[in-house]
Amino acid sequence: MPHSPRHLLTLEEFSPKEVLGLLDLAAVVKKSPAKYQKALAGQSLAMIFDKSSARTRISFDVGMYQLGGHALFINGSEIQIGKRESVSDTAKVLSRYVQGIMIRTYAHSIVEELADNSEAPIINGLTDSHHPCQVLADFQTVREEFGKLKGLQLVYVGDGNNMTHSLMIISSKTGVHCKAVCPPGYEPDSRIVQSAQKEGKRNGSRIEVVHEVRGSAKGADVVYTDVWASMGQEAEKEKRAKDFQGYQVTEKLMAECPRAIFLHCLPAHRGEEVSAGVIDGKQSRVWDQAENRLHAQKAVLVTLMGKRGKS
């Protein structure tokens, strides 16, 4: 009988209790790494990269090593998933070799098809629609700063992209109020917004999308931004640079919320979506946030692969 593993695709499939459980485990793993040195001994994680990334590759590779396992880097151009071989066949073959598969790709449908056909857990390292591993690290950082999540206010300034979607989803699970401030025409996907609003009502979260930047950060605990043009949108860069004028996190914006911390998923373009003074300033927590990718992902790996390894 085929194994039915648990996957991390969007975080929508995780209950509020399970999301908080991942964050709790991430904190424990960070504080006491030695306790988990053999958690995934003898196990292997396949890492498929259709989109390159420094933080995702290094954090997963180091994470598997620190858990006693092994990470295998697979360049997307080598296997040409969905072209040279079908997505379903790739999933079936890889899951006979490894105990987990992480993929960083473009279309979210690829991750879903992998999950439908894999006997190993699938971890979404990033798609055009979602970035769940990043927001787990983000909220670990926020909870370290404030000692809680419920009732906090997060303001995201910029493109309604995969980061916006995932921030709304995790906010709706944890009682965080999330406001996306986007230029007209660059709002997040309405289905994801509505789903997050529905989930948020159950957990005490307000999820909203607005266009006006001025005054948007008043009362915020967290201010977040991302690049204006993501990987794969290079052709739109010039147009986006014009459309996003004014949607920059500056010292003036941060002055609206002096107690807030600033977060950015990186890489950052100083002088575009964020000023150098903010990202390098006293309110910035981007380096703690980047480090927490390692700890949050170790929690994901232990949660998804640990039980399978014992079965």
Q: Which of 108, 285, 293, 295 is catalytic?
A: 293
pLDDT of 288 reads: 98
Any catalytic annotation for residue 104? yes
Q: How do the domains of the chain map onto residue ranges?
A: 16-131+291-310, 134-289
Instruction: Return the structure tokens found at 245.
Output: 């004028």
pLDDT bucket at 307, cuts 50 / 70 / 90: low
pLDDT cut 90: percent of the chain above it: 90
Catalytic pick among 43, 66, 99, 134: 134
Please identify which of the residues 55, 130, 131, 240 carries the catalytic annotation.
131
Asked if residue 303 has pLDDT above 80, the reply is yes
Q: Picking from 11-15, 224-228, 234-238, 285-289, which range would have the lowest pLDDT averaged per residue?
A: 234-238
Give the fold, CATH level 3, of 134-289: Rossmann fold (3.40.50)
Class of domain 16-131+291-310: alpha beta
- Catalytic site includes residue 226: yes
Nearest Cα neighbor of 244 from 259, 230, 223 is 230
Query: Which amino acid would we find at residue 165?
Result: H
Percent of the chain surpassing pLDDT 70 = 96
Rounded-to-integer distance, Cα 205 and Cα 170, Å: 10
Question: What is the pLDDT averaged over residues 240-256?
Answer: 96
| Position 4 confidence tier, pLDDT thresholds 50, 70, 90 | confident
- Does the structure show a pLDDT above 50 at 310? no
Question: What are the pLDDT digits (tens) for 212-226?
Answer: 999 999 999 999 999
What is the residue-averaged pLDDT of the chain?
A: 95
288 is catalytic: no
Distances (CA, A) of 296 to 155, 208, 269, 293: 22, 26, 25, 5
φ and ψ of 85, to 5 deg: -145, 145
The arithmetic mean of pLDDT across residues 134-163, rounded, is: 98
Query: Residue 301 and residue 125: Cα distance in Å, rounded?
Result: 12
Considering only 38-47, 70-79, 129-138, 160-169, which range has the smallest mean pLDDT? 70-79
pTM of the model: 0.96
- Taking only the tens place, the pLDDT of each residue in 167-199 is 999 999 999 999 999 999 999 999 999 999 999
Lowest mean pLDDT among 154-163, 240-249, 273-282, 300-309: 300-309
In this chain, the answer to whether the domains covering 16-131+291-310 and 134-289 adopt an identical fold is yes
Return the pLDDT at 81.
Answer: 82
Task: Retrieve residue 75's tokens.
Answer: 């360049």
Exactly one of 99, 265, 295, 297 is catalytic; name it: 265
Greater pLDDT, 8 or 309: 8
Is 265 part of the annotated catalytic residue set? yes
CA distance 33 to 50: 30
Q: Catalytic: 37?
A: no
Spot the catalytic one: 226, 257, 264, 289: 226
For 77-91, what is the mean pLDDT? Answer: 85
What's the whole-number mean pLDDT along residues 268-283?
97
User: What is residue 3's predicted lDDT score, i.e. its pLDDT?
Assistant: 61
Q: Decide if 46 contacts 102 (C-beta within 8 A).
A: yes
Mean predicted confidence (pLDDT) in 120-145: 98
57 in active site: no
- Catalytic residue (one of 104, 165, 177, 295): 104
Report whether pLDDT(208) > 90: yes
**Sheet harboring 153-157: ordered strands across?**
207-210, 177-181, 153-157, 222-225, 261-264
Flag whether pLDDT at 83 surpasses 80.
no
